[in-house]
Structure 1
Amino acid sequence: MRSLLCSILLLGLPALAIADPRKDWDDFRAGITQYASGPTGMYAIQDVAVVDPGEAVHLAAARAPADIRWAEQAGGKDRVSVSYENGRALLRGPGFAEVDLLKAKDQQQTLANGLIVRGTVYEKSIKAWLYNPKLPAQRFKSLSFFPYDPKGVVAATFTRKSAPVGVSHLDSRNHTGLMYWVGDVELPLHGKTYKLRAFNKEKDWTKINHVLLFFTDKTSKKTTYGGGRSLETHFPAGQPPSAMTLNLNMLYSFLCAHSEYYNCPINLTTFVDTELKYGEMYPPQLK
């Protein structure tokens, strides 16, 4: 379960037609909790580096695996490195053959010291993620959610843009990102209809199979993450419906609520002038 916000990993489990929204909510909570506490989840991130084409990062020497971080300076021949060469994220190091992380299983490789390196595409660069599977036991306690509310399952309408519009945005790590405004969603909430921009990372409709909505509301900074929450809904690629059923019980916090290493959009949210007491609540504080 990977996603966007951040260049981020999409965590919802939405559906075009929701046959059992309560079960979807149960699956959503179980999935996001499992991801948060997993060996390559939100609470296992030890470091991350953005690697531009032709560049490389190296794992600096340290006394213990928990102290290892990425460094730009070259290490010795026994150091682990990730370079971005001709569209490949090449992991090199002692004890294993050269690996293109983008083609590896789960895009990752476990090192001899137990740390895990993963590569993902980020804009025109790649991200080299370093995970320590021991960290969740130290950091993660639980996630909090509002109780399931059937009123959070709402019928909405979608108006697609024939040509998605690129929107440049600043993210939480002070990088400039690009998303595409693919249409608008109108949904009734508490006696009022709201219009929200829908986004996707793709601009080609033949590849677009979901839309993303970014919310802030009157719970933000109180009982939910102040930076915003996200909701996604999926459909067959290139075939967005004009009518959508949205399960607001599956709103999830921007991933920056859980780790500073994510790149979360900070100016794509729509403020909804009501309390959305659905989905993920404010996360526990990291130690």
Structure 2
Amino acid sequence: MRLWLYPLLALLLGASAFADPRQEYDAFRAAMNQHAGGPTGMYAIQDATVIAPGKSARLRPGAKPADARWAEDGGKSDAATRLEYRDGRAWLRVPGRERIDLLRAPEQQHALADGLIVRATAYEDSIKAWLYNPTLSQRRFRELSFFPYDASGVVEGKFQRKPVPVGVSHLDSRNHTGLMYWVGDVELPLRGKTYRLRAYNKEKDWNKIEAVLLFVTDRTSNKTSYGGGRVLEAHFAKGQPPAAMRFNLNTLYAFLCAHSDYYNCPIKLTTRLDTALEYGEKYPPLLK
């Protein structure tokens, strides 16, 4: 099951292309801070659970909103808030209200009366139900740290596409089996040396692929950047990867599991680079 969210830059920055790499970096920093500390940000996650087709989960209430958690739905109480995954719909049933399909709701989320927010994310064989408490990010998050912008981090890589993406099964950061698709290789020039990296995507159909993802560790890992690895993305028109791609290393970001244990990250797919990539996101702040 693919329970982490990549590619992220397109999600954060939208479809707009930034001609100026510095503007892209500034927008990236602002969007990453919002993604981390917003009401449904990484530091606001209170709980999450996976729901298989035909199954449901109920929200187990606590004495305070901060105590609420997802639980397996035994169907014993009609007073509980439930989320059911059936026929491609994520039906949220709140007592006394009309049911809502979260997958078709604005931003796939719904605010509950107690201030908590429920959101659903669809995957091939399941949905992931997220429970957010905005007060958590207010208490736990200040801002992310980034290396200063460096123009030397804007490089052109050569991409060799695989005609048919190759599925790669791997164990992720939560010891679950994940699946990524090896879509080609990138030759990336860095400080006088050219590195060859595998490029991945979560899609296996070239008609749906519009980005390559490089998973890397380097000499900053476990020192000034997250030890598990960081992600570098390059985007293009869907199904039309160019032979030469611009990579902005200033937009390197840490695997999402650096910020929350509720993410599954592909740490076994990283390439170790024998150089210090002092670009992009630094080591994440400690949870409080």
Q: 1:220 to 1:5 in 2, by over 3 A?
A: farther
| Alpha-carbon distance, 1:19 to partner | 2.0
- Residue number in structure 2 paired with 1:125: 126
> How many residue pairs align between the two structures?
284
| Alpha-carbon distance, 1:133 to partner | 1.2
- Residue number in structure 2 paired with 1:11: 8
TM-score by length of structure 2 reads: 0.94
Q: Is 2:46 the counterpart of 1:46?
A: yes
Higher helix share: 2
| Alpha-carbon distance, 1:171 to partner | 1.3
Cα distance per residue 1:253-274 (max 9 Å; x no partner)? 0011111111111211111111
Q: How does 1:35-184 map to 2 (within 5 A)?
A: 35-74=35-74, 76-184=77-185
- Residue number in structure 1 paired with 2:217: 216
- Residue number in structure 1 paired with 2:31: 31
Residue identity matched to 2:246 = T
Residue identity matched to 2:22 = R
Greater length-normalized contact order (CA 8 Å, ≥ 6 residues apart): 1
Within 2, Cα distance between the matches of 1:12 and 1:93?
33
Structure 2 segments unaligned to the other structure (5+ residues): none
CA contact (8 A) 2:166 2:183 kept: yes
Runs of 4+ in 1 over 6 A off after TM superposition: 14-17
Residue identity matched to 2:63 = R
Cα distance per residue 1:182-212 (max 9 Å; x no partner)? 1111111111100111111111111111111
| Alpha-carbon distance, 1:123 to partner | 3.9
CA contact (8 A) 1:123 1:177 kept: no
Q: 1:205 to 1:16 in 2, by over 3 A?
A: farther
CA contact (8 A) 1:215 1:229 kept: yes
Cα distance per residue 1:113-143 (max 9 Å; x no partner)? 1111100013411100000111111110111
TM-score by length of structure 1 reads: 0.95
- Residue number in structure 2 paired with 1:199: 200
CA contact (8 A) 2:2 2:179 kept: no
Residue identity matched to 1:181 = W
CA contact (8 A) 1:101 1:108 kept: yes
Residue identity matched to 1:63 = A
CA contact (8 A) 2:109 2:118 kept: yes
| Alpha-carbon distance, 1:107 to partner | 0.6
Cα distance per residue 1:30-51 (max 9 Å; x no partner)? 1111121110110110000011
Over the matched positions of the two proteins, sequence identity in percent amounts to 63
SS in 1 for 2:9: coil
Cα distance per residue 1:36-93 (max 9 Å; x no partner)? 1110110110000011112111111210001000011435111011111112111112
Within 2, Cα distance between the matches of 1:25 and 1:127?
30
- Residue number in structure 2 paired with 1:282: 283
